Amino acid sequence: MHGYSNVYSMKAVRLLICLAAMASLLVSCHEPEPEKEPVTVSVSPSSLSFGAEGGSAALNVSSNGLWYARADASWISVSSTSGSGAAALQVTASPNSGDARTGTITFETSDQTASVSVSQLMFVKADPVQKTIREVRALYPGKDYTITEDIFVEGLVISDYRRDTDGGLNNYSSAKTIIISDGDAGLMLYCKADNKTFARGQRVRVNLKDQILSVYAEGAIQVNGLPLDNILFLGTATPEPKTITVEQLLTGEYECTYVAIKDVQVRSEYMGKTFYTAADKGTIGFEDASGKQFDLFTSQYAVFGADAVPTGSGTLKGIAGKYSSRIQVTISDKNDYAGLTGARYDTGSYFSLKQTEASVSGDAGSFSVLLAANVPWKASSSHSDFTVTPASGQTGGVVSIAYTENPSTSESRSAVITFTTEDASVSTKELRLTLTQQPLEALVECQVQPWLELPAVKKEEGKGFFSHDMTFNDQLVRNYSFWFDLSNRVSLWVAYPLYDGLTRGTSRTDKWDYDPIVPRRYQGDASRSYTGYDRGHQLPSADRLCNAAANEQTFYFTNITPQNGNLNQGIWETLESQVRGLVSSCDTLYVVTGCVLTTANDTDIQYVKDVQGRDVAVPKAYFKAVLRYKAGEANGGYSAIGFWLENKSYGSQVISRSQAFSVAEIEKRTGFDFFHNLNDTYEKEAESKYDPAAWGL
């Protein structure tokens, strides 16, 4: 009885559970659960418009949940691509350089989408603005200035400084120089290459955007490093000079202007001389009736340099200029001095010096001073190591003071040069020039470092090792090193690293100057081009554009050699550019650029004169040894190649495999041991072979 009762109880419980479940099901069917609220999204405004220059605009998004944003065009960006709730966003359009364009920004939630249409106007290039030359000159603020405006000037070429082989007068320090005038003002153009095309009397248009205005040696305002492609020929016209007086000329307001200076004559001390003489260094003095004086400058290479200077009075034409703050005139056309045919006039007695104080280096040399006189005079020196030539004369002229090397490296010394006359017609009968010689610069070499680009440096008489640092990314790093031939005034090699960032950031400075760490007596003066040769860089200027200071060091005279112009502006420039182009495909390039002064077939060293008349050796050939490092490649990541080019004109500007060699071959030709600081195994492998295809040949 008891057992039966338990069984019955279990069945009853199960029945009750089933009935409860059915009741629950019936209740749920009649009382449905509320629907979930949808996630909405809205945007304001629904459309945005931008000008071609691009920019940013505000956009508001509102949602009750999560949202995501995406743009269907790469030129559109949104400040946030996801979020929740309401948000204030910024939509940015990049500048447009082409046609008008449209795009869409889509906002999405789990339930809705909203879109914003974006449009941008087409790019319309503004026409360049023409400015007068005077307006362009006014842009110069007293230091180098880059013209960022899209402007141009038009003017007439009033100079003809082209080489005589190109039909010019060859009457300037560089054939790269052109002077243009618009009739009101003038401007000097210093071009990247020799001007062989634009002659006197041609009207031209010059594009000045991105060009640099500068002043060299306290002289004329110039556009520095102008590509010849920026000059467009427009037609021809006859240059007409502005008639002025000597007094007006001396104001300096007519710099780079073609002028006709009336009522002048050559000073008596220059009568009978030619336009160029070595003693006068091409400077001929002129005067007006009141005694006001100016200089006529003639290059030693001018086609009329050997012509006699007319002795009559009249009008002298030429281009007014300035060099080292001195006002001077240069001949623009051989007819410029045809008007000096009148009778000479008497200017009265005069006796004066151009300057009374001067300073010279500690090296042996000479200093020239202009004595303006038309009376007899004598000169004497207070120091036996300072010799005056000539020591007397009947008229003035250029007087030279020769001096020996200062025996002291710490103390300066001075000499007083006294000029006297006994002529009763002048009031001042004694003139003095104090010449101070600085201490002799000591030759101090730099310490050799274990840098990968350095060839082996062995102490050798007449050679010296030097190195320059630079600042890059706020750190002091090495710029370049060089092995300098002290007697021949050239670097036999220049070694430097090349990596990303060094070739961009500023512009070419053209700051030609002496190297401050090498005594000047050992350097050639390359402030002007060598006769028949370009001033060729070994470390290219374009390899150091990271900042102005680093670039200026590439214009030190120790980095310059007399280089064939067609080579420098042709295949050698191609090689330099090709080496630069390798930077993007590796971690670092280690480059050695150098020259040889003799070869097995030509053992005589050839020389050219610098501005000071000193001998500078002319290389027979140039070489490059290039070591490339790229992490993860074979041979520890190192590979190398060499190049060899003679100092001559090449018919092609393309580097071919015939000019490429193994570094081991370049070592045989030069006697230098390249990349000796590299692990011996890697060095031997890299220097013994090269793959022309891997180097773009």
pLDDT at 327: 86
pLDDT at 4: 43
Q: Distance of CA 403 to CAs 135, 273, 363, 371, Å?
A: 47, 26, 8, 19
Q: Distance of CA 410 to CAs 56, 362, 413, 415, 440, Å?
A: 64, 10, 10, 17, 7
User: Cα separation of 265 and 291, whole Å?
Assistant: 10
Closest to 529 (Cα-Cα) out of 553, 512, 543, 542: 512
Q: Distance of CA 453 to CAs 477, 665, 675, Å?
A: 14, 17, 6
pLDDT at 98: 86
Strands annotated E in 303-412: 313-323, 326-330, 340-342, 351-353, 357-360, 365-373, 377-381, 386-389, 392-393, 397-403
Q: Which residues of the chain have pLDDT under 70?
A: 1-35, 126, 217, 325
How confident is the model over 468-520, as pLDDT tens digits? 999 999 999 999 999 999 999 999 999 999 999 999 988 888 889 999 999 99
Residue 402: how many CB atoms within 10 A of its CB?
14
pLDDT at 696: 79
| Residue in this structure with the two tokens 């009885």, named with its chain if needed | 1
pLDDT at 462: 96
pLDDT at 398: 81
pLDDT at 26: 44
Decide the pairing of beta strands 351-353 and 357-360.
Answer: unpaired
Q: What is the enclosing helix (H) or strand (E) of 77?
A: strand 76-78
Q: Distance of CA 213 to CAs 140, 160, 173, 547, 557, Å?
A: 6, 21, 19, 17, 22
User: What's the sign of the alpha-carbon dihedral 673, 677, 683, 689?
Assistant: negative
Which residue blocks in 35-152 are alpha helix, DSSP H? 133-137
Amino acid at 288: D
Three-state DSSP state, 581: helix
Do residues 249 and 264 lie in contact, with contact meaning Cβ atoms separated by under 8 Å? no
Closest to 269 (Cα-Cα) out of 160, 178, 347: 347
User: Cα separation of 534 and 560, whole Å?
Assistant: 9
User: Cα separation of 309 and 297, whole Å?
Assistant: 12
pLDDT at 157: 97
Give the contacts of 391 (CB within 8 A, at least 6 positions apart).
Answer: 378, 379, 380
Give the contacts of 41 (CB within 8 A, at least 6 positions apart).
Answer: 61, 62, 63, 67, 107, 108, 109, 112, 113, 114
User: Cα separation of 157 and 188, whole Å?
Assistant: 10
pLDDT at 34: 60
Q: Is the pTM of this model over 0.75?
A: no
Give the contacts of 89 (CB within 8 A, at least 6 positions apart).
Answer: 58, 59, 60, 61, 69, 78, 79, 80
pLDDT at 217: 67
pLDDT at 397: 79
Amino acid at 672: F
How confident is the model over 590-632, as pLDDT tens digits? 999 999 999 989 999 999 999 888 999 999 999 999 999 999 9
Q: Which tokens hold the place of 142?
A: 């007293």
Q: Distance of CA 685 to CAs 113, 348, 671, Å?
A: 63, 81, 19
Maximum alpha-carbon separation in the chain: 170
Q: Examine residue 390 and say whether the peptide bond preceding it is cis (omega within 30 degrees of 0).
A: yes
Q: Distance of CA 394 to CAs 78, 373, 613, Å?
A: 87, 8, 28
Do residues 419 and 388 lie in contact, with contact meaning Cβ atoms separated by under 8 Å? no
User: Cα separation of 417 and 646, whole Å?
Assistant: 49
Amino acid at 356: T
Do residues 186 and 180 lie in contact, with contact meaning Cβ atoms separated by under 8 Å? yes
Q: State the DSSP code for 566.
A: H
Burial class (CB in 10 A: 0-12, 13-18, 19+), 547: middle
Closest to 179 (Cα-Cα) out of 318, 281, 337: 318
